[in-house]
Structure 1
């Protein structure tokens, strides 16, 4: 049980170290008693993490040596215990965690809510009030649509980290409660196109300019209905807010739905359409050869990952209705099929050079035909399946519920 008031917690994320630090400093000076924590992961491949803690007049740098250099180890072995200790210090009134550029806020929020430190999760000590993501206007659009991997920029979160820069850039803005715009785009076209992408991947997230806010006003911009670290339900709604449906600066939005399964081989071939000319793909897929498990498909820039979103409600051994979120129950009820239950395709694609018609045609061509559908599950089970087993990151088995993490933690390169 919690015997003391929970201390407010703010997460700051983004790919640009300088503006991130500037925002964290604004928050620190705005309220006495604010502790700012930052873990530098640039030497994590050697098992070394540099932790900086600023509190009042103190500015402490600690070199941590980890048995296995990775983000989950940094969270479990240092950040989470540190949050608990800071929250119980009487001089600490607020904690700001400036995440390393390679860190996505969703897994950190999940860890705060779920990973035990001692007998209780850290959420018993801290109250996650806001996730602020800094967008470097000069570089963000190129980052979000490019093919670079984090390794190309020495930004890996572990030696095995194969994520793309685009994947991190997009996941950071999608999970934000407020987007803090830093600097300026190189030209008006880049500014307009970047805004069009943000309108579609984070339509309900307010934007403020770093140069025009202070440590109070930036938090005042957090909407009353902000998620505040609530982790995404992979079987919930794929769109938050109301993104524009028209094409703007070449950026469009496609929602693909169907209530028949994909042929595994044809889906594998069709996935190429989600890489070229596509900014972002997120969603669930029903594959005929694996009818009991929901696939999670996620692309960003030139990278694509396949994940495991757990069993369908209608699957043998699937979760009970009472064990899933009200949102998932509602969505399943709306599309429930008398034979296939809640199994369905639902993908949201933000397009750039590829047209919505090309996306729709490629995905519909991967669905089972009427003849294949009539052949039934026994025939589907014999289809060659190119997807294979799920890949899991190191240390994932130490976490109570890795299925609730973002697909980035289960990335499998094609």
Structure 2
């Protein structure tokens, strides 16, 4: 069975970059009728916060990305300890004591000599007595996985054939000196024991994947299929990393972005398929193919979400937005005609309030000096209420016959006088709302 996972760290709110990973893994699982796991990477007790765990769940539920089960890495520390012991017994795990300053000096020296800046494995030459002395002086060391210096190869679902020389990579640290288990080994143990078959993540993990493949093989596991998606950039190709904090999903929700608009964009962005608004999750699942994504950095512009949001809202019946219409202050008996008028003229549901205020209170008329007599004559010809969908046509026909005006010179001054705006909803749908509301006052 196909099994995928999304493994966020609860150290902050998830953003569009995290969503890309979550969505791809979710769609792969759902298209195959498989299992999607939400796995909380909370092995860092200092930075992990329960409020962020709750926020991750809320954001996923808002988007409709429902998980089949949830796991927490903090509940599995004994499993990681067993894997570490197994690696020690195999001679693939060793303790190293260099300080960050010492490691930095080593890297600079290697670079000056034209060599790759990888860890030199000096710790392997330490005697037991030297290790004891270093522990007494510096505390416990870090634990590194000893890579086999051979080529690590796999066929990547997005990048194609990958081949990395393990000798060009430092032996990865899997456990810190303070005992904290790092993602590299925790992920391997979890993926193996949970039967994860497919892993999609960012292209910044390619080297990490290479080392994890060797760890999986050392522990006797089966490697999942890997795919590494491109990283997002800003609309001009600039790095998004410093801006991702402002692109948190909850911030986009606050700005009125609709879930299906966001999902439709992220399910196609960076692929060879055009971005198309989908009506529901089933359409997204059916149209998804991870192999159609490219390796080039992918431009993301948050402004692209708003036309998609507007288009999505236009397709919705009143029942789907009834709460938002009520929150804008619209009386229940006017909700249907109000939504019919407003739906074509909003970008987000937050715009409803302004349209209701126009209907309820009217607007400051915009009347040019040369139109004052015309407007006065037109107002005198306004039929008795109540108004309906035919009133605008009946009225403007009468005004045309009385004044000789037609086209833009007829309709525009009337719109500006009634709404204070040069453009907006069809007046045939707006006028009845204005009249009904004034009559109610």
TM-score range, shorter chain: under 0.3
- If each structure's helix is expressed as a fraction of its own residues, which one has the higher value? 2
State the structure with more CA Rg.
2
Higher relative contact order (CA 8 A, sep 6+): 1
Normalising by the residue count of structure 2, what TM-score does the alignment of the two structures yield?
A: 0.20
- If each structure's strand is expressed as a fraction of its own residues, which one has the higher value? 1
